[in-house]
Chains A and B, each alone.
Chain A
């Protein structure tokens, strides 16, 4: 939990961040201010044709404008120095603490035994200076409650990340109790070695974007606009076209930039994801923190047999930050083999004898051979095309929900990660004897819902799933994944 206004323990070493942190974080405000001043200057210039008139029409002489700009810089500088002095963070064995604020003091605490993920992000502005930002996601927080340790030098950022992960894992830092007064400050934490398992070549990424609906909508809109331009000879539809192009084009380009050079690696710290062209991002998701996994295959990817893999991680799904949109993507586009590898990373024990062949069969869609329980024929009136492609399958360790005929989805929910189960039934479903069963999970792209199941089948599934989830909870691994349980 992140709790504001907590009293941090007394013997913490507070560490500072890079001095230009408030500037880089607040540069938008300064920019807006300068833009307003420039706007006013340009208006007055175009009105009178002169810059230095200080006459009764209210225009400012150029000297005063220069003085105002200088004043803005000085005030910004003083404010950012004061803000920097008040910003600090500290790490001990239980939590990460962060405090900031000149007038309104703010203190945040993120408990390490609830750690869900640690990300190092390098936004474009920070990357210019060789700095990075750390985001620590914990369970039980609301949107925006992640502890953000703002701009550190890249090396230091990696050090802090390694330290947070080591302490969260339960690796006991050798306490320098014999040294006077410097606990933990000089300890160098090594990065856990990693093994790269999945990479996404740029060719595949571009190919997948070209084969997406948004791209073709954009192409069609551009073609329509160009045609009307040629036919009517006037560019009046520009007004309609430009926002449309910005919206869809921005999405397409955003996908390209944020998933560029995506690599997935496996390490003792968990799953490591790296991606990004302008804004580089490195995420670490410790073992057991992925709540659900989803494979998606849009219709246009079927010939290439590509799948995209996304995951639910507590804290990733509810962020409102624009830079956080692709955090839940485990593999933006991959082959069937990549999907098998991704499933192995998240669910090493799938509960079947041959996971590789099992997942390959799932991807191929041979549901009858796998004895997937699908919607009954009574659901034909509600799902005319997909009734035989919606269903679920239970293994020893997970529930697998399949859906869709054209846009196919396969969702894995480990038994130990089921939060609650919801069964719902509308009036039409009641007439046909059907119910929907939803396995509630944390907010994210994977939504495991089995629609239009036979009532008796659903009753049995709900009952048995509650029992399986309880059994799985009892043997789940400890939150501190490297802790020695014998001590």
Chain B
């Protein structure tokens, strides 16, 4: 070993580990989530609107306005939230970062992965993206990467499964 010890990177934020280059997910996820939210909230909005128009009471109109405002706020947030999702495969573990206001980072070691799922709902399948979900023995491990193109999702699943197998260390 040489005498010159390389300077350790200064630790600043746990959400930006040193030497990590975050990979983004497919922006088509924005569309998928927008469509999903709209479809979910449409019946509620329509119901309140019909009730308000039929009975003409003021508080129903106010309720309609409030719910509509919440839905619009939610829809406006979606693009920013999707852009905040990042993941990176390191040598021994996988890092997943999510969230804007409530930020979240999960570090999942390959040797602890019990199994890996690839799931896609109907709207996601239409846009040809899928979510990769990792499971460890802990229930609280929220390690899912949504919005990956199908080929990439399958490649990631296979790579994680083989890395997990190689480093599998019991429970």
Which A residues contact B (CB, under 8 angstroms)?
114, 116, 139-140, 289, 291, 314, 318, 416, 418-427, 430, 435, 437-438, 440-443, 455-460, 462-463, 466, 469-470, 473-474, 476, 479
CA distance A463 to B18 in the complex (A): 9
Q: Mark B137-158, 1 if CB is under 8 A from A, else 0.
A: 1111111000000000000000
In the assembled complex, B73 has its CB within 8 A of some CB on chain A: no
Q: Mark B93-108, 1 if CB is under 8 A from A, else 0.
A: 1000000011111111
Query: Known contacts A140-B114, A420-B141, A424-B103; can you find 6 more A-B pairs with CB under 8 A?
Result: A416-B169, A422-B104, A422-B105, A443-B138, A470-B111, A473-B167
CA distance A421 to B136 in the complex (A): 11
The answer to whether B141 and A423 have CB atoms under 8 Å apart is: no
The answer to whether B111 and A473 have CB atoms under 8 Å apart is: yes
A470's partner among B15, B104, B109, B143 (CB-CB below 8 A) is: B109
The 7 closest A-B pairs by CB, nearest first: A440-B138, A459-B11, A473-B169, A419-B138, A459-B14, A423-B105, A460-B11
What secondary structure prevails in chain A residues at the interface with B? mixed
CA distance A140 to B136 in the complex (A): 9
- Report A-chain residues with C-beta under 8 Å of the C-beta of B106: 420-423
In the assembled complex, B122 has its CB within 8 A of some CB on chain A: no
In the assembled complex, B12 has its CB within 8 A of some CB on chain A: yes
The answer to whether A114 and B171 have CB atoms under 8 Å apart is: yes
What secondary structure prevails in chain B residues at the interface with A? loop
In the assembled complex, B92 has its CB within 8 A of some CB on chain A: yes
| 18 contacting pairs across A/B (C-beta < 8 A) | A139-B137, A420-B138, A422-B104, A423-B107, A424-B105, A426-B101, A430-B103, A437-B14, A440-B136, A440-B138, A443-B138, A458-B14, A459-B12, A459-B13, A462-B105, A463-B18, A469-B109, A474-B169
- Report B-chain residues with C-beta under 8 Å of the C-beta of A456: 10-13
CA distance A470 to B167 in the complex (A): 10
Most buried by A among B11, B18, B141: B11
Which B residues contact A (CB, under 8 angstroms)?
10-18, 92-93, 101-109, 111-112, 114, 136-143, 167, 169-171
Task: Please give me the residue from chain A that is nearest to B17 by CB atom.
Answer: A463
- Report B-chain residues with C-beta under 8 Å of the C-beta of A474: 169
Minimum CB–CB distance from B19 to chain A (whole Å) comes to 10
The answer to whether A314 and B101 have CB atoms under 8 Å apart is: no
The answer to whether A427 and B102 have CB atoms under 8 Å apart is: yes
CA distance A24 to B171 in the complex (A): 35
Most buried by A among B16, B92, B114, B169: B169
- Report B-chain residues with C-beta under 8 Å of the C-beta of A435: 14
Contacts A466-B92, A470-B109, A476-B170 given; indicate if A425 touches B103 (C-beta within 8 A).
yes
- Report A-chain residues with C-beta under 8 Å of the C-beta of B11: 456-457, 459-460, 463
Most buried by A among B136, B167, B171: B171
B108's partner among A416, A420, A437, A443 (CB-CB below 8 A) is: A420
B140's partner among A427, A440, A469, A470 (CB-CB below 8 A) is: A440
